């Protein structure tokens, strides 16, 4: 009851902020979005730094698009686990004491702050004001058997699951996954779970390949897809003609062009990365003449994230292995500096 009354008064909380490129700080009294009858109030247990998008934003590489520009100061992050301390009268999927995963809060904060996507804070109000599309359902119930450090990454697994389904992964496909960051690692495990005959993982960092699933159906290739030796290794691992499906997760325009060059004639390429520069290609000669299919996807839904949480519960998806370091929230600004220096590292878990 006390927490519910606090929520009604529009809570102030601590939050991580990018004051400007290359400078992370702690905001001591951020005003949370308004609590409403469809909202959930969470007290944060932990959040995770996404080394792709968040490092881009920390370094000044914006992910804005037409009608949704980004600016500094910025509230970064989109992966957080919290305990439910209050719910609105219309919330039926969560109860006080539950744990929930949330992220992608885009509205309802003080106007000077750009929410991109406001995932590092001591408290969250998850409702229609902070996420107009999903409202309180953006807070997803975590099964009791799933530990916090695995649950916090399930949203990214949901992105991977959507990508594989959009790419029409078929049983017995040979799949090549370019990039072994967090997203690529999730794609590998899910592709194996969904019945891929063989998965070829490609990354220039051996440390990332070492973390990747290395089961009997996985072949690892160290290098960039644009390199001749890497291309030859991909062809050899696929049986000579190229993979049936290539999932590009690195966000590199050159890597996407490389993906189109190594895929089997008549095969599929799916762009799952965040591409900050335009991708120029000759559609007729690159795609049409080889009868290729090129698709893309972004984001996930609460249902897809919940499905991945259940896979973690059942032991079919291992997300705990990807936490490279841990720190308390007041040490998080230095953690971003470290993420720039060590781009091969996956994620840092922030304890609140």
> Cα separation of 239 and 250, whole Å?
24
Residue of 176, 203, 206 lying closest to 188 (CA atoms): 176
> What pLDDT is attached to residue 4?
55
Q: How far is CA 338 from the centre of its chain?
A: 19
Q: Say if CB 52 and CB 183 are below 8 A apart.
A: yes
Omega before 127 within 30 of 0, i.e. cis: no
* 3-state DSSP assignment of residue 166: helix
> Cα separation of 44 and 302, whole Å?
18
Element (H, E) at 331: none
Is this model's pTM higher than 0.85 or not? Answer: yes
Angle between helices 302-313 and 182-193 (to 10 degrees): 70
* 3-state DSSP assignment of residue 81: strand
> What pLDDT is attached to residue 343?
67
> What pLDDT is attached to residue 3?
57
Half-sphere exposure of 192 (CA within 13 A, CB side): 21
> Cα separation of 166 and 268, whole Å?
11
Could you tell me where the beta strands, DSSP code E, fall in the chain? 12-20, 23-31, 40-48, 74-76, 80-87, 99-102, 114-116, 123-126, 140-141, 174-178, 198-203, 218-222, 245-248, 268-271, 293-296, 323-328, 347-351
Question: Mean pLDDT in each 10-residue stretch from start to end of the chain (352 residues)?
Answer: 60 98 97 97 97 93 73 97 98 98 96 96 98 98 98 98 98 97 96 97 94 88 97 98 98 97 98 92 96 97 98 97 93 91 83 98
CA distances for 166 relative to 235, 247, 298, 300, angstroms: 24, 11, 10, 11
> Cα separation of 66 and 62, whole Å?
12
Q: Which residues fall within 8 angstroms of residue 307, CB to CB, at 6 or more apart?
A: 158, 161
Using only the alpha carbons of the chain, give its radius of gyration.
Answer: 20
Walk me through the domains of the chain, giving residue ranges and CATH numbers. 2-153+319-351 (3.90.180.10), 155-296 (3.40.50.720)
């Amino acid at each position: 009851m006390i927490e519910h009354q606090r929520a009604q008064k529009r809570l102030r909380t601590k939050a991580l902020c990018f004051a400007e490129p290359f400078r992370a700080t702690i905001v001591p009294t951020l005003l949370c979005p308004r609590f409403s009858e469809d909202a959930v109030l969470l007290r944060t247990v932990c959040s995770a730094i996404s080394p792709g998008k968040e490092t881009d934003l920390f370094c000044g590489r914006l992910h804005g698009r037409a009608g949704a520009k980004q600016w500094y100061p910025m509230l970064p992050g989109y992966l957080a686990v919290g305990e439910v301390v209050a719910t609105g009268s219309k919330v039926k999927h969560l109860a006080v004491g539950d744990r929930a995963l949330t992220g992608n809060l885009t509205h309802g904060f003080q106007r000077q702050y750009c929410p991109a996507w406001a995932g590092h804070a001591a408290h969250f109000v998850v409702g229609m004001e902070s996420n107009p599309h999903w409202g309180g359902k953006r807070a997803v119930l975590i099964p009791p058997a799933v530990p916090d450090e695995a649950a916090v990454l399930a949203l990214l697994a949901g992105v991977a699951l959507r990508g594989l389904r959009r790419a029409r992964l078929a049983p017995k496909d040979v799949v090549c996954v370019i990039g072994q960051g967090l997203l690529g690692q999730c794609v590998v495990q899910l592709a194996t779970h969904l019945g891929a005959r063989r998965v070829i993982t490609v990354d220039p960092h051996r440390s990332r390949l070492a973390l990747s699933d290395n089961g009997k159906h996985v072949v690892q290739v160290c290098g960039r897809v644009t390199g001749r030796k890497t291309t030859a290794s991909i062809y050899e691992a696929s049986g000579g003609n190229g993979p049936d499906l290539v999932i590009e997760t690195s966000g590199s325009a050159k890597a996407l062009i490389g993906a189109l060059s190594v895929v089997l004639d008549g095969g599929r390429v799916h762009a799952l990365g965040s591409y900050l520069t335009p991708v120029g290609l000759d559609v007729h000669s690159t795609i049409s003449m080889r009868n290729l299919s090129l698709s893309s996807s972004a984001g996930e839904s609460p249902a897809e994230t919940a499905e991945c949480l259940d896979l973690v519960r059942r032991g079919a998806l291992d997300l705990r292995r990807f936490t490279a370091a841990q720190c308390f929230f007041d040490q998080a600004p230095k953690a971003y500096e470290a993420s720039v220096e060590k781009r091969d590292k996956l994620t840092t878990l922030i304890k609140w």
